[in-house]
Amino acid sequence: MKIGRRGKHTSLAEQNALLLGLVFIVFELLMAATVVWFLMVPVAHRSADDLAGLILLSAQTWNELPPETRPDFERELAQRHLLALRAEAPRAGADELHNPYVQILETTLAERTGRMRHLSREIIEGKTWYWIALPSGETTIAVGFPESRVGAQPIRTLLISAVIGLILAMLAAIWLARRTVEPLTRLEKAVADVGRGDVPELLPETGPRELAHLARRFNEMASQVRELLAARTTLLAGVSHDLRTPLARMRLALALLEEKPTPMLIARLENDIEEMDRLIGQILDLAHGMDRESAMEIDLPALLIDIGAGVPDGRVQARIAPHPCELLAPPSALRRVIGNLLDNALRYGGDQPVELVLEQAGKAVRIGVLDRGPGIPAEQMSAVFQPFHRVETSRSPATGGAGLGLAIVRQLADIHGWQIDIGPRSAGGLEAWLTLPAG
């Protein structure tokens, strides 16, 4: 049923071809009417007036010439002006149809002679001639001219130009439609690949501006899909790996508990359960990071002071300017980002205090978390934001996390349009800066 309904729709190439064809036909008709009315009709009237004057002059001159010179005059008239003279003209009917130029000529002759005379048509040696009987003194003489003398064929010209123009318009429409449909066909195939769960290929960002912009947007989406698929694979691999270690210790502890239960084994089991629960919580935080939170008015100095006060032993030193600083931001996401940066600095900063800084950078606001730990090697600066990536043991001699804290920070920053930068401090340590744009 779906295939049947789809078959009823015409393709974009057919629609464009038909539309351009109709537009061209209307345009051709308007142009033809304009050319006929403002160009051909005035030229036809002027030409008919000249020909009518020549016909009347020829009949009058022939009557005034001596009989012995009339044959020479007729030959010269035929050679130079394609006009012929004879005694009688074929009988013409009042309802005989002629082309528009001949009708204009009849009207012009009627205006000059004061009497309506219809031209008669006669075929002589395969050629069409037009004749009109005019008074010449006491007699009547017929003046004729071949149809080829007029030369112009406006109706045939309009028909030929319309047919040729329509063919060119259809060919141009088909070419333009294919040029437009081809990238859309590639986009349709790529979208179908995404729907099937495959990794789509990047589209060429060429062609018209709109199609290039559409291809660029799709490529951005395809890159995000690739990153999500890679993150999913890494996430599943990391979860399975990190859960095996506490599960193996728990299996060993359970085996030992069967032989001799001790409080140390029970405590080890509890620690392993807490480690698994903490890992699962971080994974859920990473999975929920894609959920966009509503923005609220936040007092940044108060928020940072509250976060720093929650750290025991006074290990956080807040350097916050006394002036107020408020902005719109999602509170839970902002607290989670700052909290993860702070937890990372406290875990790897040794016994040195961690500085929490709030700065105004033009219209933007910068929040810094600065520690005095061993820092991060330069070659791993970009890799620390990948899920489950751990730095060298020199970064944490005693303990290490699951490698999800900075991954959650980067994900939340990307979703809400924030900028996160990390780098070494001048006197040793690591500094992380979160930039919040105005609004």
For 282-330, write each residue's pLDDT tens digit.
666 656 655 556 778 888 888 888 888 777 777 787 777 666 677 888 8
Coil vs helix vs strand at 290? coil
How many domains are there within the chain?
A: 3
What stretch of H or E contains 336?
A: helix 331-348
Q: Do you know the residue count of the chain?
A: 439
Coil vs helix vs strand at 115? coil
Instruction: With respect to residue 329, please indicate whether it lies within any of the assigned structural domains.
Output: yes
- Range of 250's domain? 209-273
DSSP H helix total and E strand total for the chain: 12, 11
> Residues 14, 131: one domain?
yes
> Residues 73, 143: one domain?
yes
Contact present, 325 and 363 (Cβ < 8 Å): no
Distance, in Å, from the CA atom of 230 to the CA atom of 241, rounded to the nearest integer, reads 16
Contact present, 193 and 165 (Cβ < 8 Å): no
Distance, in Å, from the CA atom of 404 to the CA atom of 285, rounded to the nearest integer, reads 9
> Residues 229, 106: one domain?
no
> Residues 16, 139: one domain?
yes
> Residues 299, 264: one domain?
no
Q: Which residues of the chain have pLDDT under 70?
A: 1-13, 16-17, 89, 91-97, 151-155, 197, 199, 228-242, 245, 282-293, 321-324, 377, 379-383, 385-404, 438-439
> Residues 314, 383: one domain?
yes
Q: What sign has the CA pseudo-torsion 292, 296, 300, 305?
A: negative
Contact present, 59 and 89 (Cβ < 8 Å): no
CATH number at residue 27: 3.30.450.300
> Residues 355, 323: one domain?
yes
> Residues 149, 38: one domain?
yes
Burial 180-197 (b: 16+ CB within 10 A, else e): beebeebbeebeeeeeee
> Residues 243, 357: one domain?
no
Find all residues with CB under 8 Å of 56, minimum gap 6, and list them.
Answer: 109, 112, 113, 134
CATH number at residue 387: 3.30.565.10
pTM score > 0.85 for this model? no
How far is the CA of 395 from the CAs of 321, 345, 348, 392, 428, in angstroms? 31, 11, 6, 6, 13
Distance, in Å, from the CA atom of 76 to the CA atom of 3, rounded to the nearest integer, reads 78
> Residues 142, 264: one domain?
no
> Residues 221, 322: one domain?
no
Instruction: With respect to residue 163, please indicate whether it lies within any of the assigned structural domains.
Output: no
Q: Shortest CA distance to 206 belongs to which of 219, 194, 195?
A: 219
Instruction: With respect to residue 202, please indicate whether it lies within any of the assigned structural domains.
Output: no
Q: Shortest CA distance to 147 belongs to which of 130, 126, 125?
A: 130
Q: Shortest CA distance to 108 belongs to which of 37, 58, 49, 56?
A: 49
Instruction: State the burial class of residue 108 (Cβ atoms within 10 Å of its Cβ: 0-12, 13-18, 19+).
Output: buried
**pLDDT given for residue 266 in this prediction:** 81
Q: Shortest CA distance to 219 belongs to which of 195, 255, 191?
A: 191
Residue that the structure tokens 């929650």 belong to: 310
Instruction: With respect to residue 366, please indicate whether it lies within any of the assigned structural domains.
Output: yes
Angle formed at CA 111 by CA 110 and CA 112, multiple of 5 degrees: 90
> Residues 107, 246: one domain?
no
Instruction: With respect to residue 3, please indicate whether it lies within any of the assigned structural domains.
Output: no
Residues 168-218 pLDDT 10s: 777 877 777 777 777 777 777 888 877 776 767 777 877 778 778 888 888
Q: How many CB atoms lie within 10 A of CB 398?
A: 8
Q: Is residue 197 left, alpha or beta, with left meaning phi > 0 and alpha meaning psi from -120 to 50?
A: left
Distance, in Å, from the CA atom of 42 to the CA atom of 406, rounded to the nearest integer, reads 83
Q: Considering only the C-alpha atoms of the chain, give the largest distance between any 2 of them, rounded to a whole number of Å.
A: 155
